[in-house]
Structure formats: structure tokens, C-alpha cells
Structure 1
Amino acid sequence: MNFTINNRISVYGGIITFSITGIGVFLVGNVSGYEAKQLIAASLQGINMLCNTIVLASATILALILTLLGVSSTGTKSKLKKEHYRQVIIIAKFDTVLFVSALVLFQFFNIPITETDNVPAIWYKYVYWTTLFFSSFLSGFMVSVVLMLYATIKNIIDIVGLNKDHRLLYKEDDDK
């Protein structure tokens, strides 16, 4: 519950993104197995590009987290609370799940499923809807990770760059 309260903008941003892309998908309506097979073939390039972009972005975010940790530990004279480091761990965990999920979806679409005749036509319908659900989910998840990273970077800028008194700064009276 504390996670949702501290990251509500990030969570809401992800849910809104997921909802908007999901609603767009469901506006397509019901499709038959043959139509789904054609739609899968038509959308393969876009889904592969989405997965590639998310994999690249999430790997870059993990590298940026290392830089963020360096700035957090050496960039300020004050000591940061454990809450800051917990937030960074949460971002790293979410980003890793996002990385792996996008990579698995990408690998799934490297299977030439639309080229085979051994798959029953009804399966294409389920593959199509599952694909659209997961691509919407990955998009929303990516927005959440980026918004969490933004909030963390904003906190570091407030503390290190602007020398603001911040709730994440450790104070001696915090021990009491």
C-alpha cells in the first residue's frame, strides 16, 4: 500500500496508458481466426519494434540507475534515508521485469506462427488478443517505470542541485 501512495502518479500514468491502448485495441471488435492471422502478420513489425524499444530503454534505465546511485552516495554532503534506496530498488526490479517481459514477447514473435498450417485457425484469435493485451501492458508498464525514474531524479536534483530540505534527507532527529 505504501508503494501505491508514494508512486501514485507513476501507477496512474501506467494504468491510463494501458487503458488507452487497450480501449483502442477493443475498438477493433471481434475477429475471426483467419482475420486474426492476417492482423498478426500485419502487426509483427510494429510489435517487434515496440519490444526492441522497450528492451533498449529498460537496459539504458538500468545503466542510469547505476549513475543515479553514484550521485546519491557521493553527490551530497547529507546522508539520504533508506527510503530513497528502496525506491531505486523498486525501479530496478520493475525495469528488470519489463526488460525480461519485452524480450520474451519479442522471442515469441520470432516464431513464424503465421507461416504454419498446423495451428488451428481459432488459436490465432487468442494469440492476437493476447498479443494486444501484452503490448498494451508493456506500454503502460514502461510509462510507470519512466515516471518513477523521473520522480527519483527530481528528488536527487532537489537535494543535490538545489540544496532543498527534503523528506528523503536523513536528519539526526530521525533516530528518535
Structure 2
Amino acid sequence: MIEFLKQNKKAIYGGLITFIIIGIGVFLLGNISGYEAKQLLNSSLMGINMLCNTIILASATILALLLTLLGISSGTKSKLKDSHYLEVMSIAKIDTSLFIVTLVLFQLFNIPITESDNVPTIWFKVIYWATLIMSSMLSGLMVVVILMLYNTVSNIILIVGLKKDHPLLSEDQEKAKENQKELEENSNA
């Protein structure tokens, strides 16, 4: 887990910054009453549902694109280290978790709670703050996934597209490149 945090430090910072910025916006609303929370919740549910729809669609698309990334990774002449595939698996795990949690929250947000007269008004305050915090967390987690994916795609571009030496290349691949360079130098001499 510590290794995962070290490798994905920038992505996690990006997600935390997103969460904090949205959290500050939520905090600036200040203390509201249960009735105000009911009114605000009623007006914000459409936007939260749209956010959930977007995250669900993006997560499913990212999972499909990871399959393409794996096809490119395995089809390359360069032999990649296991850490590359573990990174892709980490993205897939986080993205799948994000997909499932967002789908469940989407279903919960579609319960017509603001139409109910049996719910005490004080609950609306708790529900309102919970939805704002959850949507902030979902947004932050989506940023983490996108930044992790960006890092992985950048590495593949460097290795496959630009044929650069990279720490993700296996030692066998690096030795073969060194031997090839030596052979070229010896043949030119």
C-alpha cells in the first residue's frame, strides 16, 4: 500500500486538491436549517444525478480503454516489467470501485426523499451535507483515476511510440539494447 501511495503521489494529490476545493465551496455555504437543506437538496439533485451519470459513463469507458492499453502493452516489441501491469490493475480496481459506488449513490439519489412528508426536517440537513461530501469525494476519486491513467499512457507513449529507455522496461530488454549498441559500435569500428 505504501508503494502504491509513493508511485501515485501526484494523482492522489490531484484528487485531494479537487476534494478540498469542492469541500471549501460546500463549507462556504455555512450552517443551514432543515427546511433550507430540503430546498437546496431539491434543486441540487439534478446536478448530482448528472455528475453520477458522467462518472459512471467515464468509468465504464476507462475500463474498456484499459483493455486497449493492455493490447498495446502486450503487442509491443519491448518487454515491460510487471510493475506496469500492476499499475494498470490498480487503475482498474479503483475505477471499478468508483463505478460501483457511484452507481449505488445514483440509485440512492433517485429516491424521491424531498417529496416525502414523513421525513423529519432535520434529516434533510444531514442528507444534504452527505450528498455534497459524497459528490466531492467522487469527483476527487475520478481525478485520481484520470491522473493515474495519464501517467500510464505517458509511459506507454515513451516506451512504444518514442522508443525511449524507461524504468518500466525489463532488465532483459535493457541488456538486449546494450548488446545491440555494442554490436553496432563494433561493426562500425
Shorter-chain TM band: over 0.9
- After TM superposition, where is structure 1 displaced by more than 4 Å over at least 4 residues in a row? none
Q: Give the corresponding residue for 1:79.
A: 79
Shift of 1:26: 0.6
Q: Measure, in 1, the Cα distance between the counterparts of 2:101 and 2:51.
A: 12
| Cα offsets for 1:1-30 (capped at 9, x unmatched) | 111111111000000000000010010001
One-letter code aligned to 2:12: V
Once the two structures are TM-superposed, the CA of residue 145 in structure 1 deviates from its matched residue by 0.2
Correspondences of 1:20-59 after superposition (within 5 Å): 20-59=21-60
Alpha-carbon distance between aligned partners in 1 of 2:128 and 2:90, rounded to the nearest angstrom: 31
The CA RMSD measured in Å over matched residues stands at: 1.1
SS at match of 1:165: coil
Amino acid aligned to 2:74: S
Alpha-carbon distance, 1:173 to partner: 8.8
Partner in structure 1 of residue 5 of structure 2: 4
Which residue identity is paired with 2:85?
Y
Distance in 1 of aligned mates of 2:158 and 2:30: 47
Distance in 1 between residues matched to 2:45 and 2:107, nearest whole Å? 12
**Which ranges in structure 1 are unaligned for 5 or more consecutive residues?**
none
User: Given that residues 78 and 173 in structure 2 are in contact (C-alpha distance below 8 angstroms), is that contact kept between their aligned partners in structure 1?
Assistant: no
Structure number, greater radius of gyration: 2
CA distance in 2, matches of 1:149, 1:96: 14
TM-score by length of 2: 0.90
Q: Which residue of 2 aligns with 1:142?
A: 142
1:29 maps to a residue whose letter is G
| Mapped partners of 1:79, 1:173: distance in 2 | 6
Q: How far 1:172 moved relative to its partner?
A: 2.5
Change over 3 Å in CA distance of 1:67–1:173 after alignment to 2: closer
Q: Normalising to structure 1: TM-score of the pair?
A: 0.96
Pairwise mapping of residues 105-116 of structure 1 onto structure 2 (< 5 A)? 105-116=105-116
Percent identity of equivalent pairs: 67
Amino acid corresponding to residue 11 of structure 2 in structure 1: S
Cα deviation digits, residues 9-65 of structure 1 (max 9, x gap):
100000000000001001000111111000000001100000000000000000000
Provide structure 2 residue ranges, at least 5 long, that are not aligned to the other structure: 175-189
Shift of 1:109: 1.0
Tell me the distance in 2 between the aligned counterparts of 1:171 and 1:153: 21
Q: Retained in 1: the 8 A contact 2:63–2:92?
A: yes
